[in-house]
Structure 1
Amino acid sequence: MKLSTSQNTAQSASIDDRIMPLINIVFLLLIFFLVAGVIKDVEPVEVDPPASIAEIESENSDLTIFIAENGQLALDDDLLDDTIFKTKLTAIITNHPEKSVRIVADKNIDSTKVIDILETLRQAGSSQVKLTTRVKEAP
């Protein structure tokens, strides 16, 4: 008995022809979701900013300072202790005073912590500081 190789080849080609459109669609969907999807940055510490009635969208800032409820400080994505934080912040602002700074502080944080950071920024020469709030929900 002789096996027909042309039949096996034809079946293999037929399966490939049926599966190729599915593979193409999967890749197109993958590309669509990669391009259209919104990627949100993960904050280094959990912060719940105070509410505000202002609905002004803030522009992106060069530096972002996060102050957690427990007092943890983060400069952009780096968790830092108080002394290293102040040293690094002062060095950055002294070398680049034109950089804008955004402060995202928890609503339950002691205000002296925020004032201390604002004073550090002022002494370093920063003039563009924004405090971030969340939009207050309608009653």
Structure 2
Amino acid sequence: MNNLVPPPATSGKSLMERVEDALLPLINLVFLLLMFFIVAGQIADDPLPELPTTAATDQQQQPYADLVITETGDWQVASEKVNADQLLGKLPAPNPDQPLKIAAAETLSMADLESLFRQLEQGGYTDVLLLTEPAS
């Protein structure tokens, strides 16, 4: 009987020798990558220089907000305390190009925010920007 598939050309090498020959380029590549990261880690060991501070960060200036919600849950528009009935009349008219800016105290519950958002949605405000303080 004749073999339909010719035997592989092994040039007289055993299976183990052929596997070793195939792994040698991979081992070389891993070694070169390891050397690259060792050298790159030594070069980048210097810390980054200090960045100059700006005057705006030192003054703690608060951003402008259309509506401020205090820690006690009071609503303020233009530094004037308002209640739920007066809120929509005191806020600027809804503008699709500029969202309503709300600054809320971090102690405010999500339930209070949801009820406020529902009232604002009924008043025609579709975009709201919630201002937060950066983590310190």
Q: TM-score, normalised by structure 1?
A: 0.44
Q: Which structure shows the bigger proportion of residues in helix conformation?
A: 1
Q: TM-score, normalised by structure 2?
A: 0.45
Higher relative contact order (CA 8 A, sep 6+): 1
- Bigger CA radius of gyration: 2
